[in-house]
A and B are shown apart, each in its own frame.
Chain A
Amino acid sequence: MSSATWRQFFSFNKYSQITARAVRQSLKETERAAAEKRGLTALRYQNWENGKGGEQVYLNPPETPVGKGTPAV
């Protein structure tokens, strides 16, 4: 937090995630595998209006296409 100029670009949450990711990437190889999983955010969301669901949007688009997107439920 030496230069708090990041505040004009990021929220505190984003700043925390950046520092956490930096720490995870500096671990030894043996620890890193378990730690990288913690950095993964897999989220899909969908807006509903008048009883109809809209398009399902990935928060972090997967690199490889997953196939036809079917709702989990």
Chain B
Amino acid sequence: MAALRLIAQAARRAPRNVQVLRRGYADVSDKIGLSLVLPHQALFTSDEVVQVNIAAATGDMGILANHVPSIEPLRPGVVEVIETGNSQKWFVSGGFATVHPNNKLTINAVEAAPLEDFSLEAIRSNLAEAQKVAAGSGSEEDKMEARIEIDVYEALQHAVSSK
């Protein structure tokens, strides 16, 4: 009898099931509506995709469904769009990525092209030219312009050669 009472008391003292908080992360079935637009062409218009990787000025980011609203300036770099089954990459010259509160992502870019459309020789020769100007004796403005171009060409070279 005493044993039974002991067990009953122990059972009462055992913790009940704690309510598990529902995590607010996206499942793979959740998608985000992407609009990737250039001034001359719309690559995506509110198309549902799983994940978008962008090269933001503050670092690389991956954006999934239900991302917190934010505005990110882009640096010259690769934007990768992952849909169910395939993923594509574009090199973007710069622009802005805006996540809206209604699960939509808008990327405005000035120039963008798929990585296959670039020529490594052109990139290499452009990079060499820009490095010459940056190390040369022109005005500070010209050198700064060359330095910006060096950033772009190095990012391009890295993206195209490692695909």
Give A contacts to B, CB under 8 Å.
1-3, 5-6, 9-10, 15-20, 22-29, 31, 35, 38
C-alpha gap A5/B40 in the complex (Å): 29
Choose among B94, B111, B156 the residue that contacts A15 (Cβ–Cβ < 8 A): B94
Name 27 A/B residue pairs within 8 A (Cβ), A-sorted: A2-B151, A3-B151, A5-B144, A6-B147, A9-B140, A10-B141, A16-B93, A16-B94, A19-B110, A19-B148, A22-B126, A22-B149, A22-B152, A23-B91, A23-B112, A23-B113, A23-B152, A23-B156, A24-B111, A26-B118, A27-B118, A27-B122, A28-B119, A28-B122, A31-B117, A35-B113, A38-B40
Interface class of chain A by DSSP? helix
Bin the interface of chain B by size. Answer: 20 to 34
B119 adjacent to A27 (CB under 8 Å): yes
Which residues 86-121 of B have a CB within 8 angstroms of A? 91, 93-95, 110-113, 117-119
Known: A6-B148, A26-B153. 18 other contacts (CB 8 A): A2-B151, A16-B93, A18-B149, A19-B94, A19-B110, A19-B111, A19-B148, A20-B94, A20-B111, A22-B93, A22-B149, A22-B152, A23-B112, A23-B152, A26-B118, A27-B117, A28-B118, A38-B111
Given the complex of chains A and B, what is the CA–CA distance between A6 and B93 in angstroms? 16
Give 1 or 0 for each of B124-156: 1 = CB within 8 Å of chain A CB.
Answer: 001000000000000011001101110111001
C-alpha spacing A32/B113, complex, angstroms: 11
The CA-CA distance from A26 to B57 in the complex, in Å, is 22
Q: How far is the CA of A28 from the CA of B121 in the complex (A)?
A: 9
| Complex Cα gap A18–B155 (Å) | 15
